[in-house]
Structure 1
Amino acid sequence: MAVFDDCFSFVIGVEGGYTDNPNDPGNWTGGAPNQGQLKGTKFGISAKAYPTLDIPNLGLADAEAIYRRDYWNRLQGDSLPPPVALVAFDSAVNAGVGNAARWLQMAVGTKPDGVIGPQTLAALAAKKPGAVAVEMLAQRNAYNYSLSAAANFGLGWSRRLFAVSQQAAIMQA
């Protein structure tokens, strides 16, 4: 529970409040600029992922419930060492649960099927959490720069990766 709280506090801190940048695909209910309605993103909860939510009026408690149910629990967050839990959780919020799970699986050498299960957790237990977190961030960085949106958002994504790395190191200590 305390690890979730720490991870949630970090993610809320980097996600911030409400934004409706029309160039951000996540702010549109259709998942692309000018596709659907521009409802925005708040606390990292996007119109793309939750097109029926009233994003501007989303409360912090609602965001926390969504994060726990749709991200943390799907990642088996309570079973992950703190630095890996943070990187996986932040990655899931920023790039999707499937990507976060695959980056963890690639970091521990299991089949990257996007679902964290017993094999992934067993392989993780045999690795150093800090090294796994670093490899996950490297995989995420490569992914980020493969996206066409990197020209607009890449520097911000890089800042976030460095902040996640720093916080994961603190959680490792």
Structure 2
Amino acid sequence: MTAFDHALARLLEHEGGFTLNRADPGNWTGGKPDKGLLRGTKFGISAASFPTLDIAALTLEDARAIYRRLYWDRVRGDELPPALALLVFDSAVNNGVAAAVKLLQASIGTPADGLIGPATLAALRRAVGNGDPDRVTAVAIEFQARRIVLMAALSTWATFGLGWARRLASLPFQAMRLAS
């Protein structure tokens, strides 16, 4: 099983199946409750992000292809230590690719432009060495701390925060299992 397959499996544990929660901005094609059409979310693929997609008819293979192309590949998951790849991938799905990359960049002390290029990869190599578990853990802790601050500031935290907090609390444990 590849790092992507492991990360996708963890993501899908959190995302679940089809939902039509009227309070969830992601379920609406307009990105806000009562804006656009209520098409829902399935496998974490939302009507807000994909307003023309038939969410209810989405297959797992369709979702897998979307996650690979639009999230995993854009955060260069295959080039990150597996533990960090899971955290950054999960954040890219929930917070957007640019936001996830900026969190990673801030966590490793490199300019945060939202794009992973040679400078970010070099800074990451300096931060984690040859994948030293203690150094990867230190970056993962910093990344998660920054992500918690970002998510707790969202206007939807009051509604969805407890579920998100559980997810954010469990991810480092899942990530470290990937690393071993």
TM interval, short-chain normalised? over 0.9
Deviation at 1:3, TM superposition (A): 0.4
Q: In structure 2, what is the Cα distance between the partners aligned to 1:69 and 1:38?
A: 25
Deviation at 1:160, TM superposition (A): 0.3
- Whichever residue aligns with residue 32 of structure 1, its letter is K
Equivalent residue, structure 2, for 1:63: 63
Equivalent residue, structure 1, for 2:174: 167
Equivalent residue, structure 2, for 1:109: 109
Q: In structure 2, what is the Cα distance between the partners aligned to 1:2 and 1:130?
A: 21
Equivalent residue, structure 1, for 2:13: 13
TM-score, normalization by structure 1:
0.97
Equivalent residue, structure 1, for 2:46: 46
Q: In structure 1, what is the Cα distance between the partners aligned to 2:152 and 2:100?
A: 16
- Whichever residue aligns with residue 144 of structure 1, its letter is M
Q: In structure 2, what is the Cα distance between the partners aligned to 1:26 and 1:146?
A: 17
* Kept after mapping to 1: 8 A contact 2:6/2:178: no
Equivalent residue, structure 2, for 1:133: 140
Structure 2 alignment gaps of length 5 or more? 128-134
Deviations 1:72-94 (A, max 9, x none): 01001110000110000000111
Equivalent residue, structure 1, for 2:156: 149
- Whichever residue aligns with residue 13 of structure 2, its letter is G
Question: For 1:126, what is the secondary structure of its paired residue?
Answer: helix
* Kept after mapping to 2: 8 A contact 1:130/1:172: no
Deviation at 1:164, TM superposition (A): 0.7
Deviations 1:113-135 (A, max 9, x none): 11111111111111222211111
Q: Work out the percentage of aligned pairs sharing the same amino acid.
A: 54
Equivalent residue, structure 1, for 2:165: 158
TM-score, normalization by structure 2:
0.94
Q: In structure 2, what is the Cα distance between the partners aligned to 1:64 and 1:130?
A: 27
Q: RMSD across aligned C-alpha pairs, in angstroms?
A: 0.9
**Which structure 1 residue ranges, 4+ long, deviate > 6 Å from structure 2?**
none
